[in-house]
Amino acid sequence: MIIRIALALALTAPPVMSSPAPLESRLCPVAVPARTRCGFLVVPERRDAPARTIKVGYTVRVSTAPGRKPDPVVYMSGGPGSASMQLTGFLAAMFPDRDVVTVEQRGSRYSAPVLSCPETAEALLGQVKRPRPDVATAAVRCRARLGEQGVDLRGYTTGEIAADVVALRQALGYASWNLFGVSYSTRVMLDVAAADPAGVRSVVLDSFLPAGVAWYDDAEANLAGTLAGLGAGTGAAFERAVRRLNRAPARLPTTDPLLGTRFTAEVTGDDVAAILAEALHESDVAAVAPALVGALAAGRDAPLAPLVDGVADGLLSHEFGLYHAVQCQDEVPYNRFASRSRLFTINADKAVCDAWKLPKSPLTRSTTKAPALVLGGQHDPTTPPRTSRPAAAALPNARFAEFPAAAHAVFLSDACARAQIAHFLDTPGTTAWTTAGTTAVADGTATGGPCQDVRPARAPDLHVTAAPYLISRAPWQAAPFALFALISLLQFVTGALKGRSLPATAGLAGLACAGLIAQSVHALAASNAVALAVGVPSTVTLYGWLAPVSAALTAASLLQRRRWPQIVATLVSAGFCVWWFTWFL
């Protein structure tokens, strides 16, 4: 006991009165800021059968601010199955005057055991291969392997995860703290608030997923609603794209992240719907979705490349054994699945749960009297305001803020949302306030708050092209642009020094072309880097016409002086024009 208390004191600043669950120190598995300690909370795998124990990962970052507040923020990521502690530094910057605790979900990447399921992940990726592998068969293999390791999947539920959070507060010795959940973990944190009211000062629920909402049954309607809200005609264009690709699937090369091998994905319109439903979690993707969907409806397949590569990358972001253990017990049983979905992600989850046959968890509609701030993104396809707003209204002391142009996990992409959260934690019990354009559940009025004059950035006006994305994957493909800019610079400098106006003007036109294009692309990358995976600013197409002007002037200078510099410059300028108009644009 003495060792346990000493360890808790070393990991945290507050005094520890008792430690109901053991704590173990560990080396931090990810980069964390100074004054951060990592550890394991040792808990029963099943509290109704406590013989076997597991370890839940966590971090504590102790604030060094002069006005350090006594009540920390405890954060958990969503998923289920997403890791949390990699955000310790990000959260410490949000809350510099509070300790920040990140807690992992049991079974996630930085807990032990890790409920990874590469068999299921590979089968999910295989949904864009031919023939498509059977997800249920893969799930059976995964469960058998986990069973050989002694894992009892019945212990991986929302209720058990919430109990871990309560046990961690008691073990760390904090009298009370502020709960912060996002997406799936909003449900966890609301359960924590209900189970441990004395230990909860306030609750932040970003992208609220209330219990009892038929998430699977609503998935297609949520996607359609999000697309319709992105702009006039986007929903109709998307349906045209789906029909086209269902008739003639796109074939795109990509990489299997689990095997490290290249393969050709065959993507139908329904596959695009499933992929886009996940991709639209990102606000930057939502901003460029109208341009992307319009290109697909017009018959262009190349813009699908980043989406398909994103499927492969996304398979590494969750531990699918944990994900399906939670979904099969807490979520899937409360949906009707009246018909087969066109989203392969929905069908795959149902197939896994049918194969695993885990028991249904009791449905708990937790509530809390603690002050709560609920954040929603206008374009969230998973936890849309149409479900999160009324769920917030049902909480006795909650306020709801909808953020224009935001999508899922608002705090990650919206600086104003982060300011709102920090301000709320300073004054959680005061009269409701919101940003302009949002609504407050408490009294329906907007009474100020931080960022009240901030307006969302406008969606970029894009010329859709796959070239920037291809260049990001293979930078050598930008060689014609770099060579054109270099030759233009040499033309301008040598022409100016030797008093030859024609090559100097040609070089100046080429430099203006390259500079304006580079400046426009850089500005877009600074505001929305994801947009470059879809295209370039439309103004770039105008700037590109300076290249033929430069090429014509260079050719004219060649007629005056038939020397090798003029020959090289003419060839490079002409080659760049061909590359620009036939490949890049």
Nearest to 383 by CA among 400, 368, 366: 400
Distance between CA 343 and CA 208 in Å, rounded?
Answer: 22
257 burial via Cβ count (<10 Å: 0-12, 13-18, 19+): middle
Q: How much of the chain exceeds pLDDT 90, in percent?
A: 74
pLDDT of residue 20: 63
Q: Running along the chain, 585 residues long, what does each successive block of 10 average in pLDDT?
A: 34 41 93 96 95 97 93 96 96 96 97 95 88 93 96 97 97 96 97 97 96 92 94 92 96 84 91 92 91 93 88 78 97 94 94 96 92 96 94 94 94 93 88 42 40 61 90 93 95 89 92 95 89 91 94 88 84 94 92
Distance between CA 50 and CA 47 in Å, rounded?
Answer: 5
Judge if the upstream peptide bond of residue 113 is cis by omega within 30 degrees of 0. yes
DSSP-assigned letters across all residues of 77-95: --TTT---GGGHHHHHHH-
DSSP-assigned letters across all residues of 279-326: HTTSHHHHHHHHHHHHHHHTT--GGGHHHHHHHHHHTTSS-HHHHHHH
Nearest to 510 by CA among 581, 427, 570, 428: 570
pLDDT of residue 430: 63
Distance between CA 188 and CA 176 in Å, rounded?
Answer: 17
pTM for the complete prediction?
0.89
Phi, psi of 58 (to 5 degrees): -160, 165
pLDDT of residue 449: 54
Phi, psi of 392 (to 5 degrees): -65, -40
Cα Dmax for the chain: 92
Q: pLDDT tens-digit profile of 413-455?
A: 999 999 999 999 998 876 444 433 344 433 333 334 566 555 5
pLDDT of residue 450: 62
pLDDT of residue 5: 31
Distance between CA 420 and CA 442 in Å, rounded?
Answer: 16
pLDDT of residue 460: 78
Whole-number Cα distances in Å, 572 to 432, 481, 575: 63, 10, 5
Distance between CA 510 and CA 529 in Å, rounded?
Answer: 26
pLDDT of residue 475: 94
pLDDT of residue 371: 96
171 burial via Cβ count (<10 Å: 0-12, 13-18, 19+): buried
Assigned CATH for 2-109+158-211+364-426: 3.40.50.1820
pLDDT of residue 10: 36
Whole-number Cα distances in Å, 450 to 68, 372, 391: 21, 17, 24
Can you name the residues that pair with 383 across neighbouring β-strands? none
Angle at 371 between CA 369 and CA 374, to 5 degrees: 110
Q: pLDDT tens-digit profile of 560-584?
A: 877 887 889 899 999 999 999 999 9
- Domain residues of the chain, as ranges? 2-109+158-211+364-426, 215-356, 462-584
